[in-house]
Amino acid sequence: MNGTMRLARVHGPGDVRLDQVDLPRPGPGEILVRVGACGICGSDLSYIAQGGLGGVEPLNAPLPIGHEFAGTVAAIGPDVSGIDIGTRVAVNPDHGFIGGGGPDGAMAPFIRVSGAVVGETLFPLPDHVSFDAAALAEPLSVGLHALKIMQVQPQDKVAILGAGPIGLCTVAMLRHLGVRDIAIFDRVESRLERARALGATLACNVDRESMTDALSRAHGHGERFGSLYVGTDVFIDAAGAPAALTEAIGIAPYRARIAIVALHKKHCPIDLWRMMANEIHMSGSIAVDRAAEFGEALTMIANGQQDLNSLISHHFDFGDFHEALSVAADADRSAKVMLTFEKEAA
């Protein structure tokens, strides 16, 4: 295929453009995917705001973005087997760091996918699974990866800090794992309503009741070394708010588990004495090397056993890219915002 296309790339802090670039061509071990849908992630918004992956070093070249996507195989390079042109696929972006530092991004009508291996990078879609539903496999697997790290069991009492898209996806994956005692905390009532629709048993607005009070009421409480603790087994930080994480560490019970999924943009003080005294287990979760979780999330989507409609709030054509970004950045208005590419020329 020859020609050009528009590709979303970050050029500096607050500077994201739809650049006209050559259509990519697949080389050995690569395929070309025509993108059907691509979700806007909080990390995409962070890359734009910071002007790069971490905002520390200036970019050496524009940074392509977009990593939550599904589409149709349009071309196949040498040394690729088990996949045909025309196959509808969801793509695990981990290989090649798609949209996260690598040379390719999915906020474009076409994307080159390296390491094209079925069951690792490529996941063929059943006919009944739409592209936008399939694109949810990426954020759903982010939540599932954190839950696997924390070894969450159905009987666990779980609290999620933040009801943005990853927090909401974590609710869905907790329900998938059989967990029924799920608390989630945010300041945006519309997002808490989505959490309730997805199966959260407690969705608390922290402007009305503190996390400590709500968890004491819902999960029980006690005292250890002269301090209050709650009966919550697992905390998932999907907010990236230092005050919320500090509060969670302060009330975590003996041998609680805490996963950090959020992108923290500020340093957060950690009470190491409390972590030691209560044997708290804390781990980061960046969701790489998660082909198994990606496939599990996609199977859950295909089975249709859970209503995931609450996860997607808006659809925008790629031509309305900047409006889509504006909506995605507005917590009061949006959950997951999806870009579609039907109007883009082949």
Whole-model pTM: value is 0.95
Task: Specify whether 280 is located in the same domain as 313.
Answer: no
Q: Are residues 72 and 111 in the same domain?
A: yes
Task: Evaluate whether 99 touches 65 at the Cβ level (below 8 Å).
Answer: yes
Phi, psi of 167 (to 5 degrees): -60, -45
Number of domains the chain is built from: 2
Instruction: Phi first, then psi: give them for residue 215, nearest 5 degrees.
Output: -70, -35
Report d(CA 118, CA 294) in Å as an integer. 12
Q: Hey, which residues does 15 pair with through a beta bridge?
A: 12
What would the pLDDT profile of 312-324 be if each residue is shown by its tens digit?
Answer: 999 999 999 999 9
Residues 328 and 266 placed together within one structural domain of the fold: no
CATH number, position 273: 3.40.50.720
180 — pLDDT class (breaks 50, 70, 90): very high
**Any idea what the CATH number is for the domain that residue 326 is in?**
3.90.180.10
Q: CB-based contacts of 230: which residues, under 8 Å, 6+ apart?
A: 212, 215, 216, 219, 220, 221, 251, 252, 253
The predicted pLDDT at position 288 comes to 86
Pair (123, 146) in one structural domain: no
Query: Is 303 part of any domain?
Result: no
CB 325 within 8 A of CB 319: no
| DSSP element (H, E) containing 22 | strand 15-22
Residue 315 forms part of a structural domain: yes
Q: Give the residue among 342, 340, 345 at the shortest CA–CA distance from 40.
A: 340
Residues 188-223: tens digit of each pLDDT:
999 999 999 999 999 999 999 999 999 999 999 999
Residue 56: per-residue pLDDT: 59
Query: Does residue 88 belong to any structural domain of this protein?
Result: yes
pLDDT (tens digit, 9 = 90+) per residue, 46-71? 999 999 987 556 788 999 999 999 99
pLDDT for 287 equals 83
Residues 111, 160: one domain? no
187 shares a domain with 68: no
Average pLDDT over residues 231-245: 97
Residue 299 lies in a domain: no
Q: Residues 246-276: pLDDT tens digits? A: 999 999 999 999 999 998 888 999 999 999 9
In this predicted structure, what is the pLDDT of residue 47?
93
Dist. CA 26–CA 35, nearest whole Å: 15
Across residues 136-150, what is the average pLDDT? 97
